[in-house]
Amino acid sequence: MTAPLLETRALVKRFGGLTATDQVSLQLLPGEVHALIGPNGAGKSTLIGLLSGEHQADAGQVLLQGHDVTRLAVAARARRGLGRSYQITQLCPDFSALDNVALAVMAADHQGWGGRFGAWRPLKRQPAVMDAAHAQLARVGLAAQAQRPSRAMAHGEHRQLELAMALALRPKLLLLDEPLAGMSGVESETMVALLQQLRREYPILLVEHDMNAVFALADRISVLVYGRVIATGRPEQIRSDPEVRAAYLGDEDLIA
C-alpha cells in the first residue's frame, strides 16, 4: 500500500464547548487530489488550520511523510514541504506581484534568515530571487502582471498570485482552502485549468464549495459534516452515497 504524504489520525479541535473537528482521520496519497467538502461550519477551514499549524490540536496526530508534526509551528511545517493558500487572500497590497512572490522565494531560502540570498539587500539587486519569482508568475499565468501592484489586480488574479507564492516555497504538497471562492465563471475555469496542470507535480488537499470543480479535479472526496468525516471515496461513490445525500438533502449541485 502507498504510504500517505499527509495523514490525520483521530484529530480533535475544540473551541470552548464547540467541537470543530471530531476524530477526523484522512490521508493524502502521492499523486492525488483529495477534496474535502461539506456545508458552512462543518470544520473544513479549522482542519486546514490544524494541518498547517495555525491551530493546535486538542487530541490526535498530524503526520507529514510519516513524521509526527502535530506540535510544530507553521514555519516548521512549511520548511518540511507543506504549502498552502488561504480562503481569504494574504498579499502585500502595495507591493507588485513580482515583489510578493520574491518575498516568498526569500522566505523559502532563508528558513530564519540563514539562506544564500541577502536578506538586507534590495530585491532588485538580487537577480536570482527575481528570476525565481518571474518563473513562478509565469507558471500561474501572471507573467504579464509582474510589475502591477497586487491591489490593482482582479480577484481571480489574486488567487493565482497567492498560488505562485505557495509554489515559491518549494512545497511537497499543497493545501488549498477554497481557491475558487468569489471567482467569476471565467476565473474559475482558469483556476481549474491551472490546478489540472499542478496536480501532475503536487498532491493537493482541496477544500472547495464549487462542486463542478471538485468533481472535475478530485481522485477522492471526503465529506465533513458537524466536524466528522461521514464518507470518503471516489467521486462516483460520493455521488451515490445515501448518507451524503441525506446530509446534503436539497443540494442539487452535489447529488445531480
Least confident of 10-14, 77-81, 109-113, 121-125: 109-113
Instruction: Quote the pLDDT of residue 121.
Output: 54
Instruction: Quote the pLDDT of residue 114.
Output: 40
Please give the average per-residue pLDDT across 233-252, as a whole number: 81
pTM: 0.87
What is the rounded CA–CA span in Å between residue 256 and residue 68? 39
What is the rounded CA–CA span in Å between residue 254 and residue 225? 14
Which of 224, 214, 137 is CA-nearest to residue 179? 214
Which of 159, 39, 32 is CA-nearest to residue 91? 159
Confidence of residue 234 (pLDDT cuts 50, 70, 90): very high
* Domain residue limits, the chain: 1-81+173-256, 91-170
What is the rounded CA–CA span in Å between residue 76 and residue 71? 10
The pLDDT tens digits for 28-82 are 999 999 999 998 889 998 999 999 999 999 999 999 999 999 999 998 998 899 9
Give the Å distances, CA to CA, from 78 to 2, 13, 42, 49.
Answer: 23, 21, 25, 13
Which range, 6-20, 103-117, 235-249, has the best average confidence (pLDDT)? 6-20
Reported for 124-128, long-range contacts at CB under 8 A and 24+ positions apart, including other chains, are: 126/102
What superfamily in CATH does domain 1-81+173-256 come from? P-loop containing nucleotide triphosphate hydrolases (3.40.50.300)
